[in-house]
Amino acid sequence: MAGFDLKAFQKAQFVPRETEVTLDALVEAGFGDGVVKVRGLTAHELAEAEESASKGRLLSDLVERLSGAGKDKVGALMDGIGYHQDVPASLAKRLEHVRLGTVQPEMDLADIAKLAEVFPIEFSVMANKILELTGKGQQAQVKRKPSGAKQASKQA
């Protein structure tokens, strides 16, 4: 039984797995060709997204415990950094997945949040594709062995 080739794995160079996705509703709405390029995430980025969702919950809990001017101040601060009391943790995590996994066009969190709000299905298509690529892992840059199909060129 052939096992995991650790030596080959150790020698391999990896690049993120990328693909283009066409968001049909954006095309129909007149926003260009609707093509976005996304990539898979790393373990570190997945952890960042998880932490982002957790921070959103912590800030929401803090605002709920405050009263008066303090509550308004923290609410304004949360709005300023893109966290709102009504953002579910699962959405906060997916927003981060899309923010981190979108290659082209470059979009910030405000752009991603607006996309999610006004085109929730297209946002989900992007998020799902990013997770699909993440699940496949990065692509190993493997040197191809000659197949023998072509004749090697001879030196003159």
Q: Selecting from 1.10.12, 3.30.360, 1.10.3470, 3.30.2220, what CATH number does the domain 16-139 have?
A: 3.30.2220
As a dihedral over the C-alpha atoms of residue 76, residue 78, residue 84, residue 87, rounded to 10 degrees, the angle is 180
pLDDT digits (tens, 9 = 90+) for 73-106: 656 655 655 555 567 778 888 989 999 999 999 9
Whole-model pTM: value is: 0.72
| Per-residue pLDDT band at 49 (split at 50, 70, 90) | confident
pLDDT tens digits, residue range 22-42?
999 999 999 999 999 999 999
For residue 55, give both structure tokens: 């921070």
Percent of the chain with pLDDT over 90: 44
User: Do the beta carbons of residue 41 and residue 100 sit within 8 Å?
Assistant: yes
- Give the residue extent of every domain in the chain: 16-139
Distance of CA 18 to the CA centre of its chain: 11
